[in-house]
Amino acid sequence: MKTKLLTLLFISSAILTTFAQKKDYINKEGWTNIGKFTFLFNQSAFSNWASGGDNTIAGNATVNYTLNFKKEKFIWNNKLIANYGLTKSENTDFPKKTNDGVMINTMIGYDAENNWFYSFFINFKTQFTKGYKYKKVDGVETRTLYTEFMSPGYVLVGPGMLWEKSKDLKINLAPATSKFVYVNPDLTLPNEGYFGVEEGERLRYEIGFSASLIYKFKIMDNITMDNALAFFSNYIDNPQNVDVNYLMDIDMKVNKYFTANFLFQTVYDNNAYGGFQMREVIGIGINYNFEHSSQKI
């Protein structure tokens, strides 16, 4: 487990170095880039503690990177969010993921008027590593493979209208969005029980209406909140079952290199689970910000 966490830290450092180098590489007119790298680590240890407790060790790495271009009436916005985390308790046989995902969003726009843009977007989401379902049988923990890279993998693409009040407040409406759900056919289940994909199939296609909101603001001088909210309704199959994905990320800057971070996410996707999924990650760790803005054309 410690080896995996050290590997996670090494990979995270490599990613950090890559982004830091890119800051100089994209020094061209019209481009703006801003990014944040965070590594959170926590450990709990007990020895003869009367109240009891489990020894645990955990680590979580996140990269949040934005690369935008603007020239006259044309804009091109790009966003990458990647995160991965592991935890291990002495009373479990396997390390378990606390975080695992990558999201890439790219959008082009052409100025209409009054902060509105004709837009076209592509959104991609999946996870890095295998995910398991766990259970204990006669005190022995077992696991069954349930998800992996590109199972599921989501691609949404479509034209729409973007309202961009500022770089921190954006709303995109796309009434003709195509949604592709990719899976490993060997993992599918009867009755479309695996992310809505039929048993033995690799792909599910949907067409519907999507909307997304990005809103970032300062709570205090050293505390910022990022909000990302997305909706999708399938026109063909149960349009009332609207997919919802909300992510809130609160950063409290301690100093140049250390930050306290609280992340909360809730997801509703009736094809994956018949209720709201929720997760939260909180911790104090290493933080690195990098930003560059060039003169607009």
pLDDT tens for 57-68 read: 999 999 999 999
pLDDT band, very low/low/confident/very high, at 17 (cuts 50, 70, 90): very low
Give the number of domains in the chain: 1
Among 7-21, 23-37, 176-190, the range scoring the smallest mean pLDDT is 7-21
**Placement of tokens 């390390």 in the chain:** 95
What are the structure tokens assigned to 222, written together? 């050293």
Residue 227: alpha-carbon gap to chain centroid: 12
- Report yes or no on 48 lying in a domain: no
Position 228 scores a pLDDT of 95
Which domain covers residue 257, as residue numbers?
2-43+55-293
We report the CATH number of the domain holding residue 176 as: 2.40.230
Position 292 scores a pLDDT of 63
Cα dihedral across residues 41, 47, 53, 56: positive or negative: positive
- Report yes or no on 90 lying in a domain: yes
What are the structure tokens assigned to 260, written together? 């306290």
- Report yes or no on 77 lying in a domain: yes
Q: Is 242 helix (H, G, I), strand (E, B) or coil?
A: coil
- Report yes or no on 78 lying in a domain: yes
pLDDT band, very low/low/confident/very high, at 135 (cuts 50, 70, 90): very high
pLDDT band, very low/low/confident/very high, at 193 (cuts 50, 70, 90): confident
- Go through the chain and tell me how many residues it has: 297
Cβ atoms < 10 Å from Cβ of 98? 18
Position 28 scores a pLDDT of 63
pLDDT at 7 over 60: no
- Report yes or no on 50 lying in a domain: no
- Report yes or no on 49 lying in a domain: no
pLDDT band, very low/low/confident/very high, at 273 (cuts 50, 70, 90): confident
**Neighbouring residues of 273: CB distance < 8 A, sequence distance ≥ 6:** none
